[in-house]
Amino acid sequence: MAIDAVAATASREYRLSELMAICAAREIRDGEIAFIGTGLPMLGGMLAKHTHAPNCVMVFESGVVDARPTRTPLSIGDACLVPGSVMLGGLTEVFGVLLQPGHVDVGFLGAAQIDRFGNLNTTVIGDYGTPKVRLPGSGGGNDIGSLAKRIVVMLKQDARKFVERVDYVTTPGYLDGPGGRERVGLPRGGPSAVITDLGVYRFDDATKEMFLESCHPGVTPDDVRRSVSWDLRTAPNVRTTKPPPKRELRVLRTKCDPQGIFLGG
Amino acid sequence: MAEREVHDKRMSVAEAVRKFIPDGCRLRSCGIGLRKPMAFVYEIMRQRKRDLTFLQSGMTEDADLLIGAGCVGRVEGSYLGLEAFGLAHCYRRSIEKGVPRRIEIEEYSNFGMTMRFMATAMGLPFMPIRSQLGSDLLRVESFLHPKAAVLEDPFGSGAKVALLPACPVDVALLHAQRCDEDGNAQLWGQLGDDVWGSMAGKRIVVSVEEVVPTKVVRRDPNRTVVPGFRVDAIVPAPFGAHPYQVQGYYDADAAFRKDYAERSATLEGWTAWADEWVYGPEDHAAYLAKVGEARLGGLRAKRILSGRVNYGY
């Protein structure tokens, strides 16, 4: 499999999960309000706060504002997010009052499928009525993808996940292309980056189509194309993703996930 | 002042389920990732309730267990999975294979479900939201017709909103940290959709870690989310959310949840798990005894006390 090949050729100094968390951190600018899920995005948020973005505010959908967890939270509702936060409410406060009027700069989402316009599926694989795999559904994903100023999508990549058209649009990306979000009445937003274990993708301003911006060290654009089921566009000069600096790796391992819960053993 | 008639609302988990949860009712759970009403969930399984419509935004083991036990016919919600522990296997077996029965699900987003509860709690027929637009959450219907409508602002801004119908709730379950003898229920920590979801209930059944003297509540009324006169039953249930967390009382039992996630992957494994942990113990006390004092003791929360405020004037 492509992922194993990458693991074998990439430097042994870091894991791909660590590189993904570091790429996530790079998407957060200082002072931004970030809507964070569990797993790698949370580690990215914690890392950003410890490094280049000390003034970013992490918001969690169960109601926590500006969490400063001292252990690795296992879920968005983890009680360890509460002590030291600045405000506690519920879904009405974080979705209704922070997200809906446009106060959230960046949201992080995962997906089981993504398509060329960045639409996300976390609901079913196959036909809705008779699915091959029943997945958990939207949760807050649709709300975050509809209403944050921009979103960053994180997933492990293969051709079954990078599909021409998702089986179910749980969360709209750019829908059918330019003007898609505006036509249905979404007030703002859309995906700005996709981070996988193979590379980092952006979206073309004019066509709203996803393109490959950088390959992780040891990965070629051809490796990436084999893991995408449409004719993927690439940047004119596909870069190599900047490998993790030692300091960021150290912070990630010692402060964000010392037990390796999400980074892996 | 006239003497108020005293109703003792205190009862056991079993009594509350018998009295307030009939077959076929619209039942709301509580908690997003914590404070789940697990003592009720286990007892609903023991009493083999049928054809429930289960209502909640973020559903985990609460819904998965009731689906596995055949108690649920329909679900209205937004997420059903085991969070960090993976997919919900009873849910998958039901939808993918019709085992033990095929349930129907009507799906909204988390915010959408919260606003549906808010509509019911406020006595409104619907609520507008600005998410869900353009997604299959609006397009794909199951048993609600229509499940949503799109409206352009009648006041001329040009903005579009999705209108979502209220979500009537026959019985709302709430696991709270504490309440007094009247049922004035206090929560702290993350509130999820519990304020609106609980208040949407025609009946509200509260389980608590502690029943406290009413002066404790009256000294800190900002923490009350449901006033006692709306509460129908008070069920003392220490560790009533195990294996979930309750802020200030105990931490999550992650090993227990992982064990459930692994064993429920097969029907045989799930049946053995349910026999061991639900149908075997006759009640909540027997369940806790089976978990064991040593294990429960290890989960007890450390003290991180809040400061006090002056309510004086």
**Which CATH number characterizes residue A138's domain?**
3.40.1080.10
pLDDT digits (tens, 9 = 90+) for A179-197: 999 999 999 999 999 999 9
CB A242 within 8 A of CB A25: no
Phi, psi of B88 (to 5 degrees): -90, 115
Distance in Å from the first CA to the final CA of chain A: 20
Q: Is residue A201 part of a domain?
A: yes
- Considering chain A, what percentage of its residues have pLDDT values greater than 70? 95
Exposed/middle/buried for residue A101 (C-beta within 10 Å: 0-12, 13-18, 19+):
exposed
Confidence band, pLDDT 50/70/90 cuts, at residue B75? very high
The secondary structure of residue A4, as a DSSP letter, is: H
What is the average per-residue pLDDT within A41-59?
A: 93
Compute the average pLDDT of residues B261-282: 98
Rounded to 10 degrees, the C-alpha dihedral B240/B244/B247/B251 comes to 110
Model confidence over B115-156: pLDDT tens digits? Answer: 999 999 999 999 999 999 999 999 999 999 999 999 999 999
Average pLDDT over residues A2-28: 75
pLDDT digits (tens, 9 = 90+) for B86-95: 999 999 999 9
A-contacting residues in B 39-98 (Cβ below 8 Å): 57-58, 77-81, 83-84, 87-88, 91-92, 95-96
Answer yes or no: do B134 and A60 touch at CB < 8 A: no
pLDDT digits (tens, 9 = 90+) for A106-140: 999 999 999 999 999 999 999 999 999 999 999 99
Residue with tokens 């980056």: A193
Inside any domain, residue A262:
no
Which residues does chain A have within 8 Å of residue B301's beta carbon, measured at their own beta carbons? Answer: 79
Question: CA torsion angle for A10, A15, A17, A18 (degrees, to 10)?
Answer: -110
CB proximity A70 to B under 8 Å: no
Question: pLDDT exceeding 90 applies to what percent of chain B?
Answer: 96
The pLDDT score that the predictor gives to residue A8 is: 42
Residue A190: strand pairing partners: none
Radius of gyration of chain B (CA): 20
pLDDT score recorded for residue B80: 97
Low-confidence winner among A2-6, A154-158, A161-165, B102-106 (lowest mean pLDDT):
A2-6
Instruction: Flag whether the ipTM exceeds 0.90.
Output: yes
The predicted structure's pLDDT at residue B194? 97
Residues of B in contact with A75 (CB under 8 A): 33-34, 83-84
The three-point CA angle A80-B189-B209 to 5° equals 100
Q: Which of A193, A200, A195, A196 is nearest to A240 (CA)?
A: A200
- The pair of structure tokens assigned to B234 is 């008070």
Q: Please check whether residue A209 is in contact with residue A173, taking contact to mean a CB–CB distance below 8 angstroms.
A: no
Q: Is A61 among the residues known to form the active site?
A: yes
Q: Dihedral sign, CA of A16, A18, A21, A23?
A: negative
Task: Give me the helix-helix angle, A16-26 and A40-50, nearest 10°.
Answer: 60
The overall average pLDDT reported for chain A is 92
Task: Give the mean model confidence (pLDDT) for residues B95-101.
Answer: 97
Give pLDDT tens digits for A154-169: 999 999 999 999 999 9
Q: Which of A61, A209, A213, A248 is catalytic?
A: A61
pLDDT for the residue B52: 98
Query: Taking residues B179-207, what's their average pLDDT?
Result: 97
Question: What is the distance between the alpha carbons of residues B28 and A105, in angstroms, rounded to a whole number?
Answer: 33
Looking at the predicted structure, is the pLDDT value of residue A1 above 70?
no
Are A180 and B160 a contacting pair at CB < 8 A? no
**What pLDDT does A265 receive?**
54
Element (H, E) at A49: helix A40-50
What pLDDT score does B1 carry?
Answer: 47
Give this prediction's pTM: 0.95
The count of domains in chain A is 1
Report whether pLDDT(A10) > 50. Answer: no
Query: If you classify domain B13-219+229-299 with CATH, what class do you get?
Result: alpha beta
Query: Is A172 in contact with B135 (Cβ distance < 8 A)?
Result: yes
Residue B294 has pLDDT above 90, yes or no: yes
| Residues of A whose CB is below 8 A from B135 | 138, 142, 146, 169-172
Bridge partners of A124, per DSSP, are A134
A181 and B134 in contact by Cβ < 8 A?
Answer: yes
**A81 touching B, CB under 8 A?**
yes
Mean of pLDDT values over B95-118: 97
Q: What percent of chain B has pLDDT over 70?
A: 98
Amino acid letter, A44:
G
CB contact under 8 A, B193 and A185: no
| Chain A residues touching residue B118 (CB < 8 angstroms) | 92
pLDDT band at A236 (very low <50, low <70, confident <90, very high): very high
Instruction: Identify the pLDDT of residue A69.
Output: 86
Who among B81, B131, B196 is closest to A143 (CB)?
Answer: B131
Domain span holding position A103: 2-256
Q: What is the pLDDT of residue B67?
A: 98
User: Which has the minimum average pLDDT: A27-41, B106-120, B207-221, B253-267?
Assistant: A27-41
Look at residue A70 and tell me whether its pLDDT is greater than 90. no
A254 near B CB under 8 A: no
Sheet order of strands, B160-165 included = B126-129, B160-165, B149-152
Average pLDDT (B27-42) is: 96
* The amino acid at B263: R
Contact A74 B254 (CB under 8 A): yes
pLDDT tops 80 at residue A250 = yes
- The helix (run of H) or strand (run of E) holding residue B177 is strand B169-179
Q: What is the pLDDT of residue B103?
A: 98
pLDDT, tens digit (0-9, with 9 covering 90-100), for B214-228: 999 999 999 999 999
* Average pLDDT for B17-36: 97
